[in-house]
Structure 1
């Protein structure tokens, strides 16, 4: 492993030196090109960073608006359910009252049927 690392280091140094010696431009020109390249890439990275920040703000804004919309809809549904319950309660009470009367009538009819003797029509002919 050590010989591999030494070979890699040696190759990097030799390749760099050969690249500098065989470069078609002078060192000054290469430095100016490198500075211009770095400046262009720095601007591109800054633009990208600004775009990402804008995207984060837009997502946060949409999230907040979405939560506000969900809360508003939830509150509206709750109000509608409460209103329906208030409007339906008198009807429910009337239905319960009629059901109680009907249950009472059925109990009375059942009790009457149990206490009355069978009708003459039910007796066999003699």
Structure 2
């Protein structure tokens, strides 16, 4: 999808530049030279864009490889940490609930407000 967009953008830019040069009020020789200069400039821009796109693709592939290497172990470690946390907190929560029940049973009943 990105490649189609880039090609369309490049094509539109070239056609627009060529149209502007062809309809400019210059002599034929000046117009041809201007066209050649612009074409060289656009060629350089296209090559630069292609190089950057290739670099982006390489970076995206490297990121994907790194993600495949590190994400699964990270998730497994995180799940182990959560399980350990739950294992440690469940008895404490039970103790707290027992204390709450004990306090509630020892408190006198409060009159309800209407």
Structure with higher RCO (Cα < 8 A, 6+ apart): 2
Hey, what does 1:113 align to over in structure 2?
99
4+ long deviations beyond 3 Å: 41-48, 111-118
Hey, what does 2:3 align to over in structure 1?
none
Q: Of 60, 83, 94, which residue of structure 1 is paired with 2:69?
A: 83
Hey, what does 2:48 align to over in structure 1?
62
Gaps of 5+ in 2: 1-26, 107-114
| Greater C-alpha Rg | 1
Gaps of 5+ in 1: 1-40, 119-126
**C-alpha separation in 2, matches of 1:45 and 1:58:** 20
| RMSD between aligned residues | 2.8
**C-alpha separation in 1, matches of 2:98 and 2:91:** 10
